[in-house]
Amino acid sequence: MIIDKLRRTKRKDLWNDPARIASLVDASLSEPDEPLPASVEQLRSWVKAEWKNCDDFQLRDVDVHGTRGLLVWLRGLVDLARIEEGVLEPLAALQKRRPDMQQMASVLHTVRIRWIKTRQELNTAMSDGNVVLCADRSKSALVLDVSKPPVRAIEKADNEPTLQGPQEAFVEHLELNVALLRKRLRSPRMKVESMRIGVYTKTNVCIVYVEGIAKPTLVEEARQRLRKISVDGVNDINKLRELIGDAPYTLFPTTEETERPDRVTGSLLQGRIAIMLDGAPSCMMVPAQFIYFLASAEDYYTNYTLTLFIRILRHISYWSSLLLPSLYVSLLSYNQDLIPTPLLVSMVVQHRGIPFPAILEALVMMCIFEALREAGTRLPRAVGQSVSIVGTLIVGDAAVRAGLVSAGMVIVVAGTGVASFALPAYGFVNSSRIIQFAFVVVAGVFGLVGIVVLGLILVTHLVSLRSFGVPYMAPIAPFTWSDMKDMFVRSPWFETKRRPEQLEPVDRVSNRSPAPRPPNKPHSGEGQ
């Protein structure tokens, strides 16, 4: 049936309206518009056929003082003790003879309940780990929240560690992640809007924002992008990012990810939006800008005077990770006149006897370094660090002793790797790891001129990017002086009065506290 409908539909119409495909597929798979059978026997036959060959499917008949009922659930997702204490015991204690569903619901005080009327809602409720209670002569069913899904405990943030500040990190349970935000934002203005994405997975996705701060059109844009998604399933935040992000073919991430609830809280108070996915231990924040990827959570937990040097050092490290190998190759191959004579003599002596040109030498060493880093990431943590460190030392020293590469090239490649490690955003670091190869190739062919031209192309590309309508390079391009207080430096909190202008928040003022002042000096003789 679904194939016939798709064949009768024009391809152009389906392309312009992908949600139509999802509706056709849903209609054929789960019959979302059909109401629940009023008879327990009919419901039993349908639900057994629907969940056939599912060994974790559980069905139990109940008799509530003359009213026939049916409990259905999936084993492993529910708390059996809560079913016994919160559902079966209250129903057994009900005094009414032949009670209806409304009277049954009135005695279920210890569990959260809601009403459903369709077969698709029943399937979704069971998949979420709930128990569904149906009864004879009732067109509605009760969803009893006794879920106990497998979830790990809250732990420290592994990918974004800090010495100071909170240590909690998100887990793979959406409700628990939302609770971590509620713990920090105790206001009804923090809104959480949920929707289901995925024809088969029905993954719960929610948009989190602060009403009165976030721009309404920005929230609506996020809603529309999520509603247009029509895929079999979404199980990872990266798949969601690729489906809703701007500039899908760019190497630079146009959304920001974090596993720290405190960072999400700070972003929400700036006017940004958080998108959370059930089963993902991280949160996506939009819009994203270049400056956010060079800022660490620890910058806001230390004194602003200490952050000044670290923030500038990160900016230098980023551009060093991009340009350091290419500059070395261009100076060694084409632009030797720019090198001081003593240093040039030393570099020529080191390179004497090397059988490869500088560009090939750099590319080989960079590939070896990336392979060792990848091996250290894939191996178990106890072994991976040893492999990446010891392997780099052994390979570098052996290559220099064998006369395959120069010692200077090893130092440059190692310095590039260290500079990339100084950046806090892992996804942003990966883009620089790829772009530095392009710079090395251009430097080996055209010298410094090629580096300048490719650099201008890179900057032009960055300036042209947007994330949910916000310029990627703001507040540099377009330049906004008020937002520069959190760019290369972090201004003290008593001087940070306004939210970022580029986000166009509804309430632009974030800090109304007066600046601290020293106490007045007492007059002479006072207090004696």
Helix (H) or strand (E) holding 376: helix 358-378
Q: Tokens representing 386?
A: 């040893």
The CA distance from 239 to 233, in Å, is: 9
Return the bridge partners of 190, or none: 210
Q: Where are the domains of the chain?
A: 31-145, 174-288, 304-471
State which of 308-322, 332-346, 398-412 shows the largest mean pLDDT.
Answer: 308-322
CB 285 within 8 A of CB 276: no
Q: What is the pLDDT of residue 218?
A: 94
The CA distance from 496 to 221, in Å, is: 28
Is 304's pLDDT higher than 70? yes
| 73 CB-contact burial (10 Å; exposed 0-12 / middle 13-18 / buried 19+) | buried
Share of the chain above pLDDT 70, in %: 90
State the pLDDT confidence band at 528, using cuts at 50, 70 and 90.
Answer: very low
Is 431's pLDDT higher than 90? no
The CA distance from 180 to 358, in Å, is: 52
The CA distance from 241 to 228, in Å, is: 13
Is 387's pLDDT higher than 80? no
pLDDT tens-digit series, residues 53-100: 998 999 999 988 888 999 999 998 898 888 888 888 888 888 888 888
| Mean model confidence pLDDT for the chain | 85
Q: What is the pLDDT of residue 132?
A: 93
State the pLDDT confidence band at 400, using cuts at 50, 70 and 90.
Answer: confident
How many Cβ atoms from other residues are within 10 Å of residue 331's Cβ? 20
Q: Tally the residues of the chain.
A: 528
Beta strand 57-64 with 112-116: parallel, antiparallel or unpaired? unpaired
pLDDT tens-digit series, residues 95-121: 888 888 888 988 888 888 999 999 988
pLDDT tens-digit series, residues 470-521: 999 999 988 888 888 888 888 888 888 899 999 999 999 988 888 888 777 6
Q: Is the peptide bond before 188 cis (omega within 30 degrees of 0)?
A: no
Provide the 8-state DSSP code for 141.
Answer: E
pLDDT tens-digit series, residues 216-256: 999 999 999 999 999 998 988 999 999 998 888 899 999 99
State the pLDDT confidence band at 399, using cuts at 50, 70 and 90.
Answer: confident
Question: In the predicted model, what is the mean pLDDT of residues 127-154?
Answer: 88
